Structures are given as structure tokens and as C-alpha cells.
Structure 1
Amino acid sequence: MILVATNIDIFSTFQNSLFPLTARPLQIVLAYSGGLDSHVLLHLLSRYKELYPQHDYLAVHVHHGLSDNADAWLAHCQLTAAALDINLIAEKVVLNVGSRESLEAKARTARYEVIAKHLNGESLLLLGQHLDDQLETFLLQLKRGAGVKGLSAMAANMPFALQKNGQIVRPLLTQPQQALVDYATQANLSWVEDESNNDASYDRNFLRHQIIPSLKQRWPNIAHTVHRSAQLCAEQQALADEIAELDLIRCQQPFSGLKISELVKLSKIRRNNVIRFWLTLQFLPMPSRHHLDKLWQEVVHAAADANPQLSWQAGEFRRYQGVLYNQQKHAQLKDFVITLKHTQNQVIPLPDNIGLLHLQSEPIDALQTQSRKNDEIATDEAVDAYHIGMFIKKPLDNEEVTIRFRGEGKCHPIGRSGSRSMKKLYQEYQIAPWLRDRIPLVYYDEQLVCAIGLWVCKGYAEQEGLHWYITR
């Protein structure tokens, strides 16, 4: 390994970005395209590895096949990673070519999905964006009419949406591109050049080659000042999210809806804020201000006996028994059955992204204590999960335990005066018709025992039995 004697600051920046996040051994993954930015990052990562060998280091190269040079780029990345003693995984993806802007988005989504497959637990995903990329992103968001969330541009550290405990880290976000060029030149690095970077028909390239040079000539420090503005926008967004989190605890109905009776108590700004936050937790795009206005006028304020619907890019807003929902297309689960081999502590993935079904056999006092703690500190789980515990007696040795999603016939929930049909019970519990086949039902043989999060059938309640709950 040849260490660079100059440009010490750029390595210090890199080291200072990673060191606080690597207190214990973990996986550090680099998205490696072979271009200037990611090559500098790979070189810095190799130096970091010499100082901190306890971590698991990996580079991932995604071959999109969009350029005639893609194979040559892959070969270059393989040789470079091997020379720097960084393990490299290469993945090929096939994209459906549409408009150029949609192609860029598809390529980015494909990269993240492929890279996510190789992340393990609390991984760090390193991306090579720098200060000039931040300026471009800010201007693109400004052109789109974005609010503070969009104008926050790129964060130095942020959760990775496709990996629950993963983080995206941009160690060089405060460094101008020229600093990376200088570093690469002095280290005698060679990198690939993507010919599409010179195509001014792409908005980002238009800004890079025709607009930003003029801005820098007039205002040399504009990249730094815009980065400061992005940070201020990020602070404002964080404050809005804190308020939305508190509002969501009041407004959220356990099964993915928002209580209109609570929404109407909020100002329009605060109401739109919590709706956007609610959709963000579902990893959905943001509706426009126009759609939010139509949502309030055409769905919430529709006649009491109406069945209002408003279609938008990520589903269909609907109202049912005073609750606002965003209905999405779901898989048919009426014939889906999960058979449990045992009833010991376990976590069971539910189909179609419903969530995780937890089965525990801990004493009730311990679970109630933990539940109280969760309520008091308003943890993430209290916001993005319905943690309504159900305690039921254990099955007999000869009884088969299954999880189903279509309930038929009648049931007598504890605390009720008599039996009711499943349809009537779902109505009483305000479960919208399109959500009823997504409620996990526990059966012992052919006998319904409980509907998770809703009720326990008479004869099956148990103070220290099996504890069931769902997290999203």
C-alpha cells in the first residue's frame, strides 16, 4: 500500500466520519462504480482497513449493461479492488429502458436493491458523493419546487431504508470534487470515465457543465453556502418529524389508518405534516400539496354515507368508519396458511409485507413492564408497529397450530355477551374491508383462538400463556 504524503486532510475527513460509527466490529460496504469518486473512496477505505482490520470490508460493483464499456469497467474494478486488498462482489442487473430520467431512477433503485442483499446487520454503506454533488442535488430539488425535506439534499449519515439496521454514510460530502481530483492525481490512481456524464440532456449534467461553473465564477463559495442551507433545511425537517411523531401517536389507528377525529384537531400545516410522516414510514413517495388538498376535500369531507376514493401515484386514499387509509394493491391471502412446528419463542415473517409475528412465552409482568416503557418513551416501535399483545393458553400436544388470514363462521370474543359472525366483528372493530384478509388468525386444529391485535375467543384467554404481537 502506497500512502499519500499530501492531502492528509481528506483522509482525516474520511477517518473522522467513520470512526465514531465503528466502535465495535461491523461490516463496511462501498458502492464501487470505478469512477473518480468511488475510486478515491476505495483507496481511503484500504488505508482505513490497515488501521482497523477488525471490520469486514466489502466493495459491490453493479453492472448495468447500459454502456458498451460496462465489461471493461467491471474488469477494472476487479483488478483495482484486488490490488487494494478489498473483497469485491459484482452483480449484473437488467433494466427496462424508458425515458432518460426514469432510466436514471431505475438504475439507482436497482443498485440499492442489489447492494442491500450483501449487507449484514448493522452495516455501513459508503457512497462517494461530495460537496459539488450536494450543490447539484439542492438545485435539482429547487427546480422541482421541493420543500425543506427535498432541500435537505443529501445527509452525511442516514438510515438505509432497505436494511433495517444499516446506515448510509457519505464521508466526503464536505469535500469539493477538486480535492478528490488532487488526491487521485497525487496517488497515481486511474479510474473509469462514464461517457454519459457529458450528456447535457440529463438535468444533472446540464447543471454540472453549463450552470454551476457560472455560479462558481460569480460566487466561489456557493457550494459551501448551499451545503449550509441544506443542513438548516435538514434541521427544520427533523423538527417537523419530531412533531409529526407525537401527532402520529395520537392519530394512528392500530391497523394502518389515521383517525379523522384527531386529524381535524390539528392545523392544516400540522395535519399535512403528520400525513406525510405517516406515508414516509410506509416508504411511500410524497403526495403533492394539490393531492393533500383534494384528499381533505373529496375524501375526509365527503358525505357521511359515501364511499370516497382518491387515486394517486402510491395507492388510493379511502375513508372507512372515521379512519383515513391509503389502500394499496395486496396479494390474495385467503388460502395462505402457516403451520407452526412448535410454540416456543420465535419470530414468524408474515406474507405480503404485513410484518413480523412474534410468539413469546415470557411471564405477563415482564411483558407489561416493557410495554409501559415503550409507551413512556414513544419508541420507534410504538410509532411504526401495532404492538397489541394477545395472551392465549397453550395448545394441547395433539393440536395443530396454524396462522390463517380468512376467518369464517362465528366467534365469541371474551368480554362480549355472545357470538358474532366474523364480518360483524370486523365491522365492530372498524377493520376496513380491504384489510380483513390481512389480519393473522390463530387456529388450534379447526378452532379459531384469536385474531392478533383484536380479540381472544372465549375459553382461550390465559394470563401467563402464549404472547402474540406484530411489528411492522
Structure 2
Amino acid sequence: MVQIHSNVSFKIIKIIMFIQKLFLKYPQQKYFLLALSGGVDSIVLFTQLITYKKKNPNIKIRVIHINHNLHLHSIKSQKYCEKICKKNNVHIIIDNINIPQKNKYGIEGYARIERLKIFKKYLLPKEILLTAHNLNDQCENIFLSLKRRAGICGLSGISYTSVYNDMKIVRPLIYTQKKKIISWAKSKQLIWIEDESNKHIKYDRNFLRNIILSKIYKRWPSFLKNCTKSMKILANEHKSLDFFILRFIKKNTFSDGSLYLIKFNQFKKEVKLSILKKWLIINDIIPTYNILLRIYKEIIINKNYFNKKIIFNNREIRRFKETIYYIVPQKNITDIIINWKNVLKPVILPNKLGILVSKKKNYKNQKIISTYKIPFPEKNTLINICFYIKKKYVYANQTIYIKKIWQKYNIPPWLRHSVPLLFYNKQLIAGIGVFVINNHFIQSEKYLKIQWLNKI
């Protein structure tokens, strides 16, 4: 724990009242969740929010502290955050991260992913998440982005406001230098906790901060300022690029989010990779460059793409004809049989596939499309819903090749076992929403109209 006293000019204090921008930018916002680590940055942000709240009591502030359990002093930070929240009558949430020594993301990467999950867990619908990233963090992030082989997006830096997984995140300190934050904290005689792990240069960020950037700042005093300008230039170029890419994606995606490839294939490789990356980001995943290259080589330009799939982050990228899909794999339901006792009552489908709703229709003297002409079952008919049928299906001396039916109606292979198949007395009648086998039924005035209310 560190308590430092110092006098700083009024000019510096005024400069650092950065929360004024926060409330100018979001004048109607009342609910905030502050990520409080106990370090100087978050303590300064906490202090200014409390000061603002005293003058504006309609503002509601909650605090969340995440204990990373990286060293023995972690509990000190937690206790201190609890203490100042209690003193200021602010509700605090405490949660923990236990980082495995061996994981594919590294200690810092794993902690970052877990923090975002925890924030998502506790953030209320009306709240904005506030974090205490500062300008020095920005500069460190650029070097880390270079290490990770990031593109223009990573090199554009951390934005003042962003949305991740439906969370609005605001960083009021992002344009403020660390030394100014510390000066303000000293002028107010604030107490904060020095994170012991910040000294350990085994962590990439600490190595940059304590070994590399400290020397750069000393040799080139304007480096941080120029770095900020470069990030702004890159950010503007990124916005311009995004404008055209998003426009293309909007015009070439279907309602299920799949990307149409006809016009896409007219572009050069570099443009295709940029479109693919943005398309995946829209679907809430940030792909690595290696993943993008695999998609390009194995799915886009590979003539033998059939049944190829690229799996990452528990998701699949697959292609069917001239369309690529971003898929959440589902459980195998080919063995499930649903007994539909009363066909006029809704039936719930497995795997969150939705429900089937039906009603009796009288089509006397009306012309209807045969695809939707499902005969109404006779009394005591056994009605089943299944999700699998053999490659060949023989009915009334006619061989039906189910694969050809799926191909005829452009149903991708991974969706074919999700389509509810309607059987009367173990005889195939229809693939709901796709086809009806009604050639051999006696014409009747009574039919079923079945609606599949689903997400596909």
C-alpha cells in the first residue's frame, strides 16, 4: 500500500478532470459499473466518479473487483477495494480468476478472456462498463499487437468507446498519460495498492513497460504524443476501410448471416482476407491470421471444399456451393423420435430448433402449391417426427434418394439432420418447410398447414 503526498499545479488538476468528457459524451447515462483493481489508475477514476456523484446523486455506480490470484498480495488489493467502497457506500462485486500454468493463451491472454466473461456476467442491461486504461497502456498495446502479428485494427489502438459481446465499454483515461494520473493522485493524497506482479518482467507487458518503453520515453520525450497521432491516423484509415467492407458484407449476406461468394470471388486475395476477417468479427469472433489463411486456402480457393470444415473457438466455418457459413455445432439428434400424439397441438423440437405448429386447412376449390400440401392424418395414424432417413427410401414402388432432395432444395449437409421429417405409420410424408411426398395420396379437401418456427 502506498500513500504519497505532493503539490501539483491547478492547471494539471484541471487537465485531468477527464470524467467531464464522459458525462458530456453520455449525458443521459446514469448507470455505471467500474472495474476497480486498487491500482492508481482505477483509484483515481473511482475518486472522480464519487466526487461527481456527490453533485449528481441520480448517478448510480457499482464496482467490480477481480482477484487474479497471481501473488500473495492479491488479497490486499481486494480488501482495500472493499474498504473504500464501504466507506463511500458503493456496492462492490468480488470475483476470482485462477489461471492455469499451462494454457494456450498465456497468463495475460487467459486473464483478459476471463475478465471479459466476468464483466459480461455481472453487467446490467442499462450499465456501461468503465475501465481505467491510460495512454501508456495504448502505447504498450501497439507493441504487443506487433508481437501478435495484428493488422490495422490492432495497431489503431484501444478506442475510447467500444462494444464487445453486447457490452458497452468506456475508457475515460485512455487519452491521459500515466504521469498525469499519478500527479493528480498525489495532489489529492490518495492511497492505492501497487500490484506486485507489475515488477515481474516475465509478463510481456511489464517487460515492455519497465525495460523497453522506459528507455524510449527517456530518449524521445515526444514519442508517446507522436504514437497517439499515429494511432489516430490508423484509426481513421481503419474506419474508411470498414465503411466499404461493411457495405459489401451487408449486400452479400443472407438472413442467416452466411456470406455469398459470387461477387466476393472477384476481389484480390488481400481484399478477400479483410472481408473474411470483418465477417467473422461481426459474428463475435476475432480470428488469427493463420485461421484466415486456412479459410482462404481450404474453403475459398480449394475446388475440393466438399465436407471441409475449419474448427476454432467451438465454431465451424463450412461452405456449400457459393456460400460460406459460420456454424455453432449441435448435438447429434439422428436417433431421436418424437411421437406427435395430437397433430393440432404444438411440438417442441430438440437442440433449440424451435417448435412445429399446425392447423387443419380446407382447400376445396383452391389451387395450392404441392410442396405445402400435407394430407391430414386419418384417425389412429401413428405420427412421428424424426431427423434421419437412409440414403434410399422406397415408397409405393418408387425409390426416393433423400440426398437428391436435399440438393434440389439447396440444404447444406450440416443442416440436413436438423430438418424435422414427418412420418405417418412409419412412411415418410414431408421434410417440414422443405418438401412433401404426396404423389400417392388420394386427393382430399383436408390438409395440414405446418409452420416450423425456428432459427435456421
Q: TM-score, normalised by structure 1?
A: 0.72
**Which residue is equivalent to 1:429?**
409
Hey, what's the Cα distance between the residues in 2 that align with 1:69 and 1:284? 35
Q: Quote how far apart the aligned CAs of 1:8 are.
A: 3.9
Hey, what's the Cα distance between the residues in 2 that align with 1:211 and 1:219? 12
**Which residue is equivalent to 1:196?**
197
| Match among 387, 392, 406 for residue 406 of structure 1 | 387
SS in 2 for 1:264: helix
Q: Quote how far apart the aligned CAs of 1:430 are.
A: 2.6
SS in 2 for 1:12: coil
Which residue identity lines up with residue 93 of structure 2 in the other structure? I
SS in 2 for 1:129: coil
Hey, what's the Cα distance between the residues in 2 that align with 1:193 and 1:207? 18
SS in 1 for 2:17: helix
Cα pair 1:309 1:316 within 8 Å, conserved: no
Structure 1 pair 317–69 and aligned structure 2 pair: CA distance change class (3 A): same
Q: Which runs of 5+ in 2 are unaligned?
A: 1-7, 339-347, 357-371, 373-384, 391-399, 439-446
**Which residue is equivalent to 1:156?**
160
Which residue identity lines up with residue 322 of structure 2 in the other structure? G
Deviations 1:212-246 (A, max 9, x none): 12221222122122122212222222222222222
Cα pair 1:160 1:168 within 8 Å, conserved: yes
SS in 1 for 2:118: helix
| Match among 25, 44, 53 for residue 48 of structure 2 | 44
Structure 1 pair 335–168 and aligned structure 2 pair: CA distance change class (3 A): farther
Q: Quote how far apart the aligned CAs of 1:151 are.
A: 0.3
SS in 1 for 2:319: strand
Hey, what's the Cα distance between the residues in 2 that align with 1:179 and 1:34? 18
Cα pair 1:100 1:202 within 8 Å, conserved: no
**Which residue is equivalent to 1:231?**
232
Whether 1:307 aligns to 2:287 is no
**Which residue is equivalent to 2:77?**
73
Compute the RMSD of aligned alpha carbons.
4.3
Deviations 1:349-370 (A, max 9, x none): 9968x8xx799xxxxxxxxxxx
SS in 2 for 1:252: coil
Which residue identity lines up with residue 323 of structure 1 in the other structure? T
Task: Number of aligned residue pairs: give it.
Answer: 403
Whether 1:243 aligns to 2:239 is no
SS in 2 for 1:54: coil
**Which residue is equivalent to 2:376?**
none
Cα pair 2:45 2:132 within 8 Å, conserved: yes
Hey, what's the Cα distance between the residues in 2 that align with 1:349 and 1:167? 34
Which residue identity lines up with residue 180 of structure 1 in the other structure? I
Hey, what's the Cα distance between the residues in 2 that align with 1:329 and 1:83? 49
Deviations 1:441-470 (A, max 9, x none): 699x99999857x789995669xxx89574
Q: Quote how far apart the aligned CAs of 1:294 are.
A: 5.0
Hey, what's the Cα distance between the residues in 1 that align with 2:436 and 2:14? 62
Whether 1:57 aligns to 2:38 is no
Q: Quote how far apart the aligned CAs of 1:48 are.
A: 2.1
Bigger radius of gyration: 2
Q: Quote how far apart the aligned CAs of 1:197 are.
A: 0.5
Hey, what's the Cα distance between the residues in 2 that align with 1:200 and 1:103? 13
**Which residue is equivalent to 2:367?**
none
Structure 1 pair 211–321 and aligned structure 2 pair: CA distance change class (3 A): same
Q: Quote how far apart the aligned CAs of 1:76 are.
A: 0.9
Whether 1:86 aligns to 2:90 is yes
Matches within 5 A, 1:319-334: 319-326=319-326, 329-332=329-332
Structure 1 pair 221–456 and aligned structure 2 pair: CA distance change class (3 A): farther
Which residue identity lines up with residue 267 of structure 1 in the other structure? K
Q: Quote how far apart the aligned CAs of 1:156 are.
A: 0.5
| Match among 126, 131, 134 for residue 127 of structure 1 | 131
Cα pair 1:78 1:88 within 8 Å, conserved: yes
Cα pair 1:240 1:273 within 8 Å, conserved: no
Cα pair 2:135 2:177 within 8 Å, conserved: yes
**Which residue is equivalent to 1:368?**
none
SS in 2 for 1:154: coil
Deviations 1:405-454 (A, max 9, x none): 93769xxxxxxxxxx887555433333222344x57699x99999857x7
Percent identity between the two aligned chains:
24
Deviations 1:303-344 (A, max 9, x none): 46x636364654554432232345564444557899xxxxxx
Deviations 1:101-152 (A, max 9, x none): 6111111221221121221113210010111111111122123332111101
**Which residue is equivalent to 1:102?**
106
**Which residue is equivalent to 1:363?**
none
Hey, what's the Cα distance between the residues in 2 that align with 1:126 and 1:271? 35
Cα pair 2:67 2:74 within 8 Å, conserved: yes
Which residue identity lines up with residue 320 of structure 1 in the other structure? F
After superposing the two structures, state which structure 1 stretch, 152-161 or 89-98, moved more: 89-98
SS in 2 for 1:230: helix
Cα pair 1:131 1:224 within 8 Å, conserved: no
